[in-house]
Structure 1
Amino acid sequence: MDPIGQHGKGLDFSCRGQRALVTGAASGIGRVIAEALLDAQAQVYVCDVSAEALAECEQALPGVRTARADVSDAGQVDAMFARIAEDFGGLDILVNNAGVTGPVGPIEDNDPAQWERNMQVNVNGMFYCTRRAVPMLKQAGGGAIVNTSSVAGRMGYPGRAGYAASKWGVVGLTRSLSAELGPHNIRVNAVLPGTVEGERHERLYAERAKRQNMTFQEAEALYTTQVALRRFVTPRDIAAAVVFLCSPAARNISGQALGVCGDVQYMR
């Protein structure tokens, strides 16, 4: 069925019956993405490193399935996909959302261990999950992969070089996989959030305020002036973009790095 419908009516933004995995999704942005996919009538598997957060997620979201896994560990990822194959019998959607912030500050002060962890989760984790998901998507006759990058994946980010490097890597992986997997009817896109309301970015404001000898409010205002719309995005904004990219309405969208940022003009 044409998802557009006659005269543009009846747009299909649902994910009805689709089997989805969202990584790093027991809390934060990933949790909201999982909720949105459930609302779009998908079956959803959630993975996270926190057993406590997963237990709370199971209680709050009836019907969701969970697996404790660190995506930077290939063995744990393999075990998770074995469970998904047993429980779901396959996969139609992969949302590679798990990520860490990485080291903050001048490059000469970056802790090598934090740098390595940043790359292991943000880049290696996507590889480990994608390599296991692709055979399932091919078997299903196609599907969608959405990778969480960042506005830092399209511009420089002083004081956050490791994070930016990893998120540029996500965009490169996305565009390469789109070309590779397109013939198998697998669409691959990335979403690039800007400054997102919530505790994670509040910690960044506090860190910047401390480094630059300013108040928390001054640091927050500094981030706001970098955005054309002069406001931050919400997790729901990001989730809406992910559901759209997974839905039949986006059936011809692939290889794109979609900014969900209010048009960030620069980063400092």
Structure 2
Amino acid sequence: MSTVYANRFAGRAAVITGGASGLGKAVAARIVAEGGQVALWDLDAENLKAVAADIGAAHTVALDVSDEAAVLAAGKSTAEALGRIDILVASAGITGATAPVYEYPTDSWKRVFDINVNGVFYSCKAVVPFMLAGGYGRIVNVASVAGKEGNPNAGAYSASKAAVIGLTKSLGKELATKGVIVNSLTPATFESPILEQLPQSQVDYMRGKIPMGRLGDVHESAAMVCFMASEECSFTTAATFDTSGGRTTF
């Protein structure tokens, strides 16, 4: 486990999408441990309650991030519950089918984009007005090294994460003079429940592309996200931060 910094997030309120598992849960736990308030947004209503109780989250919303109305309503209810929204970590995502592009099932393609791209877009729309009102914000959109390099048999996932990077760069430039910083994380594969959505052959392929020869640990990426979500990240926006074990080349 990485070092916990006392009170780094004191007085700050964060929204974490996909907060009931994986990277979202790890980030939420750290923000709470470092003095912040956290609202967890997740599709898994049952697990959401258990995780919230475990880490001390202040607010929860069970929702599908592809539902714009639900996400916008969650932004309002969270701001009311916490009194403010300073941080968004958009980590909800799915992998989709494993297949070559020319055989890729269209329903899976659309669902991947609904969650991975539209969900990030809706979440940003929901929280940015509250950040602008407060004159401060940090947004971390979780993308992937696949969005930079492309993974074979993962066309929808790769394309969706490239879209997240592009969205992040646009939003970051739009808000650069308004006190709201927007960056994306581009991790290589790390140990996470999302791997259960993939065949072992795909996981082995991705591990083989990492020069360190191992998958990442979720806390390594959580540490990077927490820096990006903190006041320390003050002069970098519209950018990507890598946690790739040497894989990323640009």
- Give the TM-score of the pair, scaled to structure 1: 0.86
The answer to whether the 8 Å contact 1:12/1:248 transfers is no
Match of 2:88 among 70, 89, 94: 94
**Among the aligned pairs, what percent are the same residue?**
33
Inter-CA distance 166–203: structure 2 relative to 1 (3 Å threshold): closer
CA distance in 1, matches of 2:120, 2:162: 13
CA distance in 1, matches of 2:142, 2:86: 17
Q: Secondary structure at the match of 1:197?
A: coil
Give unpaired runs (5+ residues) of structure 1. 1-10, 210-218
After TM superposition, which residue ranges in structure 1, 4 or more long, deviate above 6 angstroms? none
Give 1:203 deviation, angstroms: 4.9
The answer to whether the 8 Å contact 2:72/2:125 transfers is no
Match in the other structure for 2:177: 183
Q: How does 1:160-199 map to 2 (within 5 A)?
A: 160-199=154-193
The answer to whether the 8 Å contact 2:13/2:36 transfers is yes
Question: Is the counterpart of residue 264 in structure 1 residue 227 in structure 2?
Answer: no
Question: Is the counterpart of residue 81 in structure 1 residue 113 in structure 2?
Answer: no
Match in the other structure for 1:4: none
Inter-CA distance 72–63: structure 2 relative to 1 (3 Å threshold): closer
CA distance in 1, matches of 2:48, 2:193: 19
- More displaced 10-residue stretch of structure 1: 178-187 or 105-114: 105-114
CA distance in 2, matches of 1:55, 1:175: 34
CA distance in 2, matches of 1:69, 1:223: 30
Match in the other structure for 2:119: 125
Amino acid at match of 2:28: A
Match in the other structure for 1:246: 229
The answer to whether the 8 Å contact 1:23/1:30 transfers is yes
Bigger Cα Rg: 1
Give 1:238 deviation, angstroms: 1.0
Amino acid at match of 1:39: A
CA distance in 1, matches of 2:141, 2:230: 15
Question: Is the counterpart of residue 148 in structure 1 residue 148 in structure 2?
Answer: no
Inter-CA distance 198–89: structure 2 relative to 1 (3 Å threshold): closer
Give 1:251 deviation, angstroms: 1.2
Question: Is the counterpart of residue 233 in structure 1 residue 227 in structure 2?
Answer: no
- Give the TM-score of the pair, scaled to structure 2: 0.92
Give 1:172 deviation, angstroms: 0.3
Give the length in aligned residue pairs: 245
CA distance in 1, matches of 2:231, 2:190: 27
Q: Secondary structure at the match of 1:86?
A: helix
CA distance in 2, matches of 1:145, 1:131: 11
* Offset from partner CA, 1:108-149 (integer Å, 9 cap, x none): 221111110100111111111111211100011121000000
CA distance in 2, matches of 1:189, 1:12: 23
CA distance in 2, matches of 1:33, 1:69: 19
Give 1:265 deviation, angstroms: 5.6
CA distance in 2, matches of 1:108, 1:90: 46
Match in the other structure for 1:106: 100
Q: Secondary structure at the match of 2:99?
A: coil
Q: Secondary structure at the match of 1:91?
A: coil
Match of 1:14 among 8, 16, 28: 8
Q: Secondary structure at the match of 1:250?
A: coil
The answer to whether the 8 Å contact 2:90/2:120 transfers is yes
Match in the other structure for 2:44: 50
Match of 2:65 among 65, 71, 75: 71
